[in-house]
Amino acid sequence: MSAIDQPVRKKDAMALVTGKPVYTQDIAPKDCLVVKLLGSPHAHALIKEIDIGPALQVPGIECILTYKDVPDSRFTLAGQTYPEPSPYDRLILDQRLRYVGDAVAIVAGENEKAVEEALDLIKVQYEVLQPVLDFRRALDHEVIIHPEENWKSLAPVGADNRRNLCASEEVEYGDVDQVISECEWIIEQTYHTKANQQVMMETFRTFTHLDTFGRLVCVSSTQVPFHVRRILANAIGIPKSQIRVIKPRIGGGFGAKQTAVSEIYPAIVTWKTGKPAMIIYTRRESFTSSSPRHEMEIRVRLGADKEGIIRGIDVYTLSNTGAYGEHGPTTVGLSGHKSIPLYGKVEAFRFGYDVVYTNVMSAGAYRGYGATQGCFAVESAVNELAAKMQMDPVRIREINMVRQGQVMPAYYGEKLNSCALDRCMAKAKAMIGWDDKYPCKDMGNGKIRSVGVAMTMQGSGISGVDTASVSIKVNDDGFYSMSIGATDMGTGCDTSLAQIAAECLDCSVENIIVSGVDTDASPYDTGSYASSTAYVTGNAVVKTCAALRQRIKAEGSAQLGCPVEDIEIDGEKVYRVDTDESISLKDLANGAMCGNSNALSATESFSSPVSPPPFVVGMAEVEIDKETGKVDLIDYVAVVDCGTVINTNLARVQTEGGIAQGIGMALYEDIKYTEKGQMVSNSLMQYKIPSRLDVGTIRVAFESSYEPTGPFGAKSIGEVVINTPSPAIANAVYNGVHVNIRELPITAEKVYMGMHKEK
């Protein structure tokens, strides 16, 4: 192989380090109307009266929209394949306001100053309603958050708006109660993970304008251009054919931009006024009115025999979707489906969940998508089981982990064709020096150093749903243009997919020009989420290249005058296998531009019936201050099985970044509300993500399996890397000071209180 498993430089690298104008705001027309939203000051309220008269008088104000001006047809902002599992529960503007920050009015004007002034002058009379802020009490609460008649659930997800229920399900395999009752060792605990912010450095932003033909053009920092096209059509009530969505470079997404957080507002302004419009979310708005991780409370009951073989797992998840149901019915599923299957000897399991509406900001998609929350709960429970049995938590995993070749009943019955989890565990153990360091060492200065472990899996795209298409054409001189619908949001897929194409076409990566995404021009792709790009779009690249090679051979046979069976390609030239005769790809391509009826291009689509899981073993070494409970991360080791690594450097950096985000979730990050539902953690000063000094040393290694259904054996990597830090660090804390932290983040206060409670 020449292009695969290589540290190929990112195609956009030079543009990014020289500060070229490549992001949405950098390339927006100068005459865009400034669009801003008036947010609700109440967590739950009805608009009784709204007076925009004085605000409209402000010089420079172009339009002010209220709930009276928008279609009364509900939709979802979730970027998912139609029919979306997320309920249609939103309007662009609604008379009922469901969280602090929910949009009351849209104001557009010539400059920010005028818009700010107009926002202040809008007079609203609210009928303040009782909010539902405790998600444990939301189900069947007397206050209904979505009482409206036109609320709609398109998919059978067990939703009932009259019960504040966004989704509900229970699946059982075997008789889990019976199996657990027979066990020697039983653990039953409840774990609580908080909502977390993605905090991509580029906040949500979109600009819109009308093109020559009067169509709506939407340029947006999005992971899901094709879904945005449908969402805008649903929201504004215009045909999809009237909409074009373009994605420039994206300043990070991590799932946040799998929800159409910002697009609808400038879009309706442009559609109504005919003028270009732009919305830029401030960091504060990005914190208060966006799409964070679902808060979950997860009850885990598991049973093991006297040797420590885990025989039964029972998981119940209560998920908080907030005011709207974006990604509510789907994230919750991963909390069980991506945690239980790690334990290969389980004879019976049950997985049930309820997803409830509350009056806080709607949750959405964030890297890990529920698996992260489930991983913290189940891995923590396994660690508690090991502690109860006085067994090494690495050992209990070694004897229980799922192995290659097994069928996984808790993972949709899929067979595990590639798995190096055992090798990942062995390598992580050696790298961190587990046997020397477990469980802990008193440093003699009031501090204890200890180690902890967790393992995890994710998927590679959504089986049977995610669809990727790729078009490649041969240009004059024989260079290739590849159009993709997958969105490079910093992950580097423009580069890694070009590597796959270069490998298939025996050419250099530089010879592949990648473009994406413009919904008018790019082939369809569900978008970059669910760890789908390397696997699903990567497979589409392989398929397209195979079809293109046939086309090139056909042209070669025409130009060389021989049967196509006698033709081969070596990347540089097309040649006859039976003679020495050949034609260079350059001459063939140039020749094909004169009097030719055979298009040298191919488009293929790919969808997978399976979603092969990547695996990670994470081990943390922490130092705990016995006096204060403060936890410092010293060392983090992550060993990854993502199948074949496509780009060695991009995969490493992506892993390190995911681990860093996981560390933030474990130790620092917490969205906090007042008792009235006002968010207090609404800036980077309150919502603390790790800086250079907080992440310690992160060391990454790869133990690759070979996934037979993947492109060159590859699986995914984007999401799985965020999952292990929370349970591994919690385990290290336990191994150091015998305190089980079951609610994130693991703050000094909680550790201190735990140390003094359990003494």
Partner 1 sequence: MLQILNESLIELHINGEIRKALARPSDTLLFFLRERLGLTGAKPGCENGDCGACTVLVDGWPVKSCLMLAAEAIGHEVTTIEGLDKVPIQQAFVDKFAFQCGYCTPGFIMNCQGLINIHPDASDEVIHEWLQSNICRCTSYQEIMEAIRSVLPSQ
Shortest reach from residue 25's CB to partner 1, in Å: 7
Question: Which of 73, 631, 683, 725 forms a contact with partner 1 (CB under 8 A)?
Answer: 683
- Compute the distance between CA of residue 451 and CA of residue 755 in angstroms, rounded to an integer: 17
Using DSSP, state whether 471 is helix, strand or coil.
Answer: strand
- In this structure, the dihedral spanned by the alpha carbons of residues 510, 516, 522 and 526, taken in order and rounded to 10 degrees, is 120
Shortest reach from residue 122's CB to partner 1, in Å: 23
Shortest reach from residue 371's CB to partner 1, in Å: 20
**With respect to partner 1, which residue has the nearer C-beta, 68 or 113?**
113
Question: Which of 385, 650, 667, 679 forms a contact with partner 1 (CB under 8 A)?
Answer: 650
> Does residue number 745 form part of the binding site for partner 1 (CB under 8 A)?
no
Please state whether the peptide bond connecting residue 727 to the residue before it is cis, i.e. omega within 30 degrees of 0: no
Q: H or E stretch including 350?
A: strand 348-357
**With respect to partner 1, which residue has the nearer C-beta, 266 or 478?**
266
Question: Which of 491, 519, 644, 681 forms a contact with partner 1 (CB under 8 A)?
Answer: 491
> Does residue number 684 form part of the binding site for partner 1 (CB under 8 A)?
yes
- Compute the distance between CA of residue 614 and CA of residue 658 in angstroms, rounded to an integer: 14
> Does residue number 649 form part of the binding site for partner 1 (CB under 8 A)?
yes
Identity of the residue numbered 202: E
> Does residue number 698 form part of the binding site for partner 1 (CB under 8 A)?
yes
> Does residue number 283 form part of the binding site for partner 1 (CB under 8 A)?
yes
The number of residues that bind partner 1 (CB under 8 A) is 54
Question: Which of 80, 198, 208, 456 forms a contact with partner 1 (CB under 8 A)?
Answer: 198
Burial 443-472 (b: 16+ CB within 10 A, else e): eeeebbbbbbbbbbbbbbbbbebbbbbbbb
- Concatenated DSSP letters of 404-446: TT-EETTTTTEE-----HHHHHHHHHHHHTHHHHSSEEE-SSS
Strands of the 468-474 sheet, one edge to the other: 512-515, 480-484, 468-474, 601-606
Let me know: does 671 contact 292? Beta carbons within 8 Å: yes
Per-residue tokens: 580: 């020495």
Let me know: does 513 contact 545? Beta carbons within 8 Å: no
Applying the rule CB under 8 A, the residues between 503 and 532 that interact with partner 1 are none
Question: Which of 128, 129, 547, 653 forms a contact with partner 1 (CB under 8 A)?
Answer: 653
Question: Which of 32, 35, 224, 250 forms a contact with partner 1 (CB under 8 A)?
Answer: 250
Shortest reach from residue 199's CB to partner 1, in Å: 5
> Does residue number 203 form part of the binding site for partner 1 (CB under 8 A)?
yes
Give the binding range for partner 1 (CB under 8 A) out of 157-165, 293-301, 412-420, 653-661. Answer: 653-661
Give the binding range for partner 1 (CB under 8 A) out of 200-208, 299-307, 529-537, 604-612. Answer: 200-208
Give the binding range for partner 1 (CB under 8 A) out of 271-279, 410-418, 470-478, 692-700. Answer: 692-700
Alpha helices by DSSP H, listed for 479-569, are 493-505, 538-560
Let me know: does 657 contact 253? Beta carbons within 8 Å: no
Residue identified by tokens 């298009």 is: 599
> Does residue number 492 form part of the binding site for partner 1 (CB under 8 A)?
yes
> Does residue number 155 form part of the binding site for partner 1 (CB under 8 A)?
no
Give the binding range for partner 1 (CB under 8 A) out of 126-134, 186-194, 666-674, 682-690. Answer: 682-690
Q: How many helices (H) and strands (E) does the chain have?
A: 18, 29
**With respect to partner 1, which residue has the nearer C-beta, 393 or 690?**
690
> Does residue number 202 form part of the binding site for partner 1 (CB under 8 A)?
yes
Contact residues for partner 1, defined by CB under 8 A: 7, 9-10, 12-21, 23, 25-26, 198-203, 249-252, 254, 280, 282-283, 489-492, 649-650, 652-654, 656-657, 659-661, 683-685, 689, 691-693, 695, 697-698
